Structure formats: C-alpha cells, structure tokens
C-alpha cells in the first residue's frame, strides 16, 4: 500500500515537473526589453577584413530597410543631424569579423558548394557610448540568389534581434 | 477672297508640317547608360532598370516612373567592380530550375559579365546613403570619370590609360 502511494507521489512529481518546467524556462528566456525611440545605424566597418564596397553598402542599406520594416523605431542614418535631438537614441555599430565570398554559379550547378557567408559583430550603444547589447550575427546564402543576398539574410536576423531586445517608446 | 485662301493654305501647311516638327522635339533620346539599380536610391524599388547619366552636376537615374537626382558634389565615394549574372535570368531563369535532365543547372554555366558601380553620398540632413548599380562591361569606369569631373570624390583614383580593361578594376568580388 505504502509502495503504491510512493509510486503515485513520484509519478505526480515527475509529471508536475514536466508540465511546469517549459513554462518556467519560457519565462526565463524572455529578456526585459530595453526602451528606445530611435536607432541610428552607423556605416559597416571592416578594418580587419577586406570587404568589397558593394557588400558594405548592401549590408548598410539592407539593415536600414529591414529595421524600418520591422520594429516601429525611427531609423536614422549615419551623420543625420536630426538624430542628435532624439531621446532614447540607440546607436548600432557593426564590424565585419569574417567574410567568405562564394560563387553563384557553383551554388546553382552543385547545390551544396559555393555558399557566401558574412560574420558581423553588432554593438548597440546608448547616447553616452555605454554598450547595451552585443551580438555576433551571420548572414548566409546557400542555395538561391546572388552573393549579395547574404547581406539581406544578415539584415533580417539583426532586425529580429532588435525586435526581441528593444521596445519602442511612445511618440516614435 | 484671296486672303482667305491664303490663310487656309497657311493653316493646312502648318498642319501638314507640324507632325514632323513636334515629335522631333518630344522624342529626345534617353540620355545615360542602361543600368539596374540594385539597392539604395530613395523611392526606387530594388532591382529596377533605368538609365544613369551625369548631367549639370547631378547623377541622374531615370526610369519609367520617376527620376532621381543625386548631386555629384555630395558623392563621397565612387567605386567600380565587376560581377556576373546568368545568361538566362529573371523569371525565365527561375523556371529553368524545373527543366528536365538538370538542364537548368547546365544553363547556369553560361553567364554574362557585368560592371558594378557603388556610390556613397550624403542627403540634405547629412545622412549617409549608399547605392549599387550594375551595367554592361566597361561602362562603370566611364560613368565614374564623368562623376569625378562633376565634383564627386573617390577613395580609389582612376589610373591614367586604364579605363575599360578588366585589369583596371579596383577589386574583383
């Protein structure tokens, strides 16, 4: 009788843990979003890696387009004088840490070879230059599209990181 | 009576001649190089075809819907490069993926060479923009020269006597 009771309690405890653990984990995963009214995007830096100019410009423009599309923040470009008056301004600085240019022809002919990838370190800082968030984000093109599609992939992932970690303040 | 006939003849002559005169003024040839704007110009969709030219201190991209002008003096950098694209591209190129016996892959082997022109420029508020264009081989260097003559800047100066040869390109992406 005691053994049956003990087994019942054990089963209850295991099932309770199984049901509640994912919910607790989900609560732990959700980060507290930082407030920002606007994001200023700095031009992509590539001091260590020799990055072709079209990739640099494509990274910058795709990033701005994706941030404008998702998020609800006011997006400023590098050097925009209007950004100086913006409250809760976050500056996004990106540095290319790795770049492997593949071949579109190889991708189309072999499917498995010729991938293009870009590794970019993203740092979000506040007005005082204090780092709020840092992430390493990768952009790839493995199957379809030109090499510049890797920059689109990177921009989409970065916009998602912004959405997950920042919430727009009222008035944006 | 004679004056009346003269007037009618004048009007008739004008009506006959005018169709040959007016269209001549209206159908001026489109100035500039045929290009595809890959990304960057405000108000223009990515991968839009049009004509790019340099006119009275402005870099002008014109296509069916609108014209976009960028002051040459606001251009901070002009860089040329080269690229390639499938001989059969666009929607038809995508459809060749479903062609039998992997013939789509075979068609991917045939490619045309392209020149790329990348510019960085500032808007009225000082914001930095970038734009990328692709065009036929040998045309990017010519456009770059024209832009530099109109006041644009570059981080890679043009070498004398090396304008259209592939070896003269600054980079090979």
| Average pLDDT, 10 consecutive residues per value, chain A (172 residues) | 71 68 58 87 91 92 93 91 90 93 75 83 93 93 78 94 87 53
Does residue A111 sit in helix, strand or coil? coil
Class of domain B31-168: mainly beta
Would you say the pTM of this structure is higher than 0.80? no
Q: Spell out which residues of chain B touch residue A55, defining contact as CB-CB under 8 Å.
A: 173
At residue B169, the pLDDT reads 46
Same domain, yes or no: A10 and A68: no
Same domain, yes or no: A24 and A90: no
Domains of chain B, by residue range, sit at 31-168
Range of the domain at A140: 33-168
**Whole-angstrom distance, CA of residue B80 vs CA of residue B95:** 31
Nearest CB neighbour to B130, from listed A61, A82, A147: A61
% of chain A at pLDDT higher than 90: 45
Who has greater pLDDT, A134 or B103?
A134
The whole-number average pLDDT for the span B156-170 is 56
Same domain, yes or no: A73 and A62: yes
Nearest CB neighbour to A81, from listed B77, B125, B131: B125
At residue A110, the pLDDT reads 73
Indicate the pairing of strand A116-125 with strand A166-168. unpaired
Same domain, yes or no: A18 and A63: no
Structure token pair of residue A36: 């920002």
Structure token pair of residue A159: 């916009």
Which residues, at least 6 apart from B116, have a Cβ–Cβ distance to it below 8 Å? A54, B38, B80, B81, B82, B83, B132, B133, B134, B135, B140, B173
> What is chain B's mean pLDDT, rounded?
77
Who has greater pLDDT, B147 or B16?
B147
Same domain, yes or no: A21 and A48: no
Does residue B116 sit in helix, strand or coil? strand
Q: Spell out which residues of chain B touch residue A116, defining contact as CB-CB under 8 Å.
A: none
The confidence band for B25, taking pLDDT boundaries of 50, 70 and 90, is: very low
Q: Spell out which residues of chain A touch residue B126, defining contact as CB-CB under 8 Å.
A: 79-81
Q: How many domains does chain A have?
A: 2
Same domain, yes or no: A92 and A79: yes
In this predicted structure, the answer to whether residue B133 has a pLDDT above a threshold of 80 is yes
Same domain, yes or no: A130 and A94: yes
**Whole-angstrom distance, CA of residue A147 vs CA of residue A139:** 10
Angle between helices A53-69 and A149-165 (to 10 degrees): 40
Same domain, yes or no: A125 and A40: yes
pLDDT in tens, B104-122: 777 666 777 889 999 999 9
At residue B12, the pLDDT reads 58
ipTM: 0.78
Give the lowest-confidence range in B53-62, B93-102, B110-119: B93-102
Give the lowest-confidence range in A25-39, A71-85, B132-146, B148-162: A25-39
In this predicted structure, the answer to whether residue B15 has a pLDDT above a threshold of 60 is no
Say whether A79 and B126 touch across the interface (CB within 8 A): yes
Say whether A147 and B173 touch across the interface (CB within 8 A): yes
Same domain, yes or no: A81 and A159: yes
At residue A103, the pLDDT reads 78
Say whether A56 and B130 touch across the interface (CB within 8 A): yes
Give me the CATH number covering residue A65: 3.40.50.10610
CA distances to A26, A36, A122 from B120, in Å? 44, 28, 21
């Amino acid at each position: 009788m005691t053994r049956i009771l003990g087994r019942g309690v054990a089963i209850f405890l295991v099932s309770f843990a199984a049901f509640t653990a994912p919910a607790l984990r989900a609560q732990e995963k959700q980060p507290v979003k930082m407030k920002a009214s606007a994001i200023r995007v700095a031009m992509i830096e590539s001091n260590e890696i020799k990055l072709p100019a079209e990739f640099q410009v494509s990274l910058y423009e795709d990033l701005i387009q994706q941030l404008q599309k998702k998020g609800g923040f006011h997006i400023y470009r590098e050097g925009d004088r209007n950004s100086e008056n913006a409250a809760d301004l976050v500056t996004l600085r990106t540095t290319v840490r790795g770049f492997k240019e593949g071949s579109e022809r190889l991708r189309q002919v072999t499917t498995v070879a010729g991938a293009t990838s870009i590794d970019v370190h993203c740092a979000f800082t506040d007005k005082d230059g204090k780092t709020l968030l840092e992430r390493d984000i990768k952009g790839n093109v493995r199957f379809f599209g030109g090499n510049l599609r890797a920059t689109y992939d990177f921009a989409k992932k970065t916009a998602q990181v912004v959405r997950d970690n920042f919430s727009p303040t009222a008035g944006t | 009576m004679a004056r009346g006939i003269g007037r009618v003849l004048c009007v008739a002559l004008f009506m006959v001649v005018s169709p040959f005169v007016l269209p001549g003024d209206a159908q001026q040839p489109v100035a500039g190089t045929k290009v595809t704007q890959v990304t960057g110009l405000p108000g223009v969709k990515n991968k839009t075809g049009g004509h790019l030219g340099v006119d009275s201190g402005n870099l002008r991209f014109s296509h069916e819907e609108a014209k976009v002008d960028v002051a040459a003096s606001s251009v901070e950098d002009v860089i040329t490069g080269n690229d390639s694209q499938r001989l059969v591209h666009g929607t038809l190129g995508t459809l060749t993926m479903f062609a039998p016996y992997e013939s789509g892959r075979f068609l991917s082997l045939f490619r045309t060479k392209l020149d790329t022109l990348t510019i960085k420029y500032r808007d009225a508020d000082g914001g930095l923009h970038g734009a990328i264009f692709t065009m036929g081989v040998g045309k990017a260097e010519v456009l770059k020269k024209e832009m530099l003559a109109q006041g644009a800047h570059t981080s890679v100066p043009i070498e004398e006597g090396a304008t259209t040869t592939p070896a003269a390109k600054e980079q090979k992406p």
